[in-house]
Structure 1
């Protein structure tokens, strides 16, 4: 039995908008499988218990000798309620009536039978076409033109066939408008596993939600279930957590709780917890959880009572706990921060000091590849950096000829 949030309940909206403002939905042919699904749904219900579509409903009629006939003035094998007076219909007449209302029927069939039970998949597919806001006619008119949605670095385009079937084109947002023939086309959503492994430069991507997804590919013709599979393969658990958040059920595990359960080589991170002092966690979040580094929106804080001072980002999908990349980086920083500070003296001109700052900023922001070799105005320009190294490093690679005092590894 469908729950109250099923497509039947969603489609029960009687479309109270002014009829003149409704766009013309495309002509839809009622597929036999959709009609058969309606008959199956009715067979599972008591006489008079309707299957609801947008603007009308259908129920099984009562037996002729049933004194408790639910619709006494509409005798027939089936009863169509569409307006003030119900109408009794035979199976053939029901098929004709549903064919005239094929958009609403195929919409019900898509979400109730093809997509299935209410959950992350169904919520995500309905969100793509604003199925909980617009009427069927409005959505089908938009689907005929193509509805575009962004999900991380993905561009998803939803369309509808003349049989009311949803089809989806999934590609990198940078490839919007590129003909399918100019991209590597795939039809199996599991092919996405290989597409997300390396970035454009062939470097391994340890964080699947990093904004470094390579382009040049397309899934041009996915069905609803395959679309969900492809998106979850490219961005694991993002739809599930997005759905939990929408339902008010997102379970967030904060920094302290996450670190307290670390063991083995990662147990050292627990020694970095300074009680009330959590400035180091702000540094970690600023380094790892900015929009430029991860497409998730950080929802975890220091603990239940203490928020971090660093913004969590603007991503569409939430981050519910420090990820393995954050934990691994924190382990390294824990060891580095355990070193005792030393004082080193170097002679730098004001411009050289600013150049060191520019180099650090460029590396931290991943902009080094964007700085042209001929642009020596940039402090992080490769030739300027090489000049600074030639001037300030000794033969052993020590800055200013000052050796680094040994520290524990």
Structure 2
């Protein structure tokens, strides 16, 4: 919480109308508890004002009707002595600021990734309570990978969150499968829309058709971290300047067993190989993370790291597994083959490779034979170029080594 300020009349006039908020008893009780834990005179700060126990009015033996003012409310330059009832009335008039404090200090709690993420969702570190509550009344939408998260506020100042696939933005809740337990997300992220296993949870292959329509702050955070594990944590570390990045060479040096073969890539050709790996696996079309690891501390890769909102701090298991396979394939001795291809057939082979690499095969219509990767055109090319054993009928220009 920033220190309270007294906005000028001009600035106050620019503030949007705050939705009417009721001060819930749990928020008021939390204020009393917080004041009880402070020394008299030590303020509890909100946006625009502060409250403290009266250091001079602490007569516990006085009759209730004669009890001195117990609290001091500092609103700009107008300190006010208040009883507990008077404090409740005063805070009710400032319920937005009080419930905002309560939401983050008591409901969300810890000064860590959960708090930072939930504040980021509503720009709590860059906008006033009045501006945020007006926006929350309409619904604040944020993107997180393939997720669309909508934050709203109730009449009691409570945050509620709708978490769904971005493709389902605007779809009525009744038309989606609704869940209320954030751990149900574990089943939603297992398979893609075609029922295939998703080995990489940050791949842009998350299936839609579901919604968590009414989560509280802690459950919303849990759902996001279940769908995209450790993304909020690493995002927070990066914001705090504490992201520990492990580059390619250091990661590969740790590999052992069947994965130890990756270490055979040396600094020369190995650097170029790692560029190919990053281009193949770490592009935005393949992973929603933003790659922050490079070849080593002193050598950046030539491939762009992507635009994802959450960082990738080290080569993941999918990258390591793929690199192991490519290391073995690249260890083969190259040979030169001759093929008789028309210029159109050469272009068609290029189109087939591009379509498979970009995952566009299913988008190509069967009747569209103008497209190089069309299924019938590809089958025709196979019929023409493959031998009876299913091998591409090329002629090696050099004999096999004995």
Shift of the alpha carbon at 1:12? Answer: 3.1
- 1:245 alignment counterpart: 238
Query: How does 1:4-403 map onto structure 2 within 5 Å?
Result: 9-10=1-2, 12-15=4-7, 18-64=11-57, 76-275=69-268, 278-400=271-393
Structure 1: 4+ residue segments shifted above 6 A: 403-407
Per-residue CA deviation, residues 208-249 of structure 1 (Å, 9 max, x unaligned), is: 000000000000000000000000000000000011111111
CA distance in 1, matches of 2:172, 2:192: 22
Shift of the alpha carbon at 1:274? Answer: 3.2
Alignment check: 8 A CA contact 1:394 1:401 kept: no
Alignment check: 8 A CA contact 2:245 2:314 kept: yes
Alignment check: 8 A CA contact 1:147 1:159 kept: yes
Alignment check: 8 A CA contact 1:347 1:400 kept: no
Per-residue CA deviation, residues 133-189 of structure 1 (Å, 9 max, x unaligned), is: 111011000000000000000000000000000000010000011000000000000
TM-score by length of 1: 0.93
CA distance in 1, matches of 2:95, 2:319: 51
How many residues are matched?
Answer: 391
Unaligned runs of 5+ in 2: 60-67
CA distance in 1, matches of 2:111, 2:399: 62
Alignment check: 8 A CA contact 1:15 1:135 kept: no
CA distance in 1, matches of 2:5, 2:143: 27
SS at match of 1:18: helix
Alignment check: 8 A CA contact 1:15 1:54 kept: no
Shift of the alpha carbon at 1:400? Answer: 1.8
CA distance in 1, matches of 2:101, 2:354: 53
Unaligned runs of 5+ in 1: 1-8, 67-74
SS at match of 2:151: strand
Per-residue CA deviation, residues 255-279 of structure 1 (Å, 9 max, x unaligned), is: 0000001011100100113357510
Shift of the alpha carbon at 1:11? Answer: 6.2
What do you get for the CA RMSD once the two structures are aligned?
Answer: 1.7
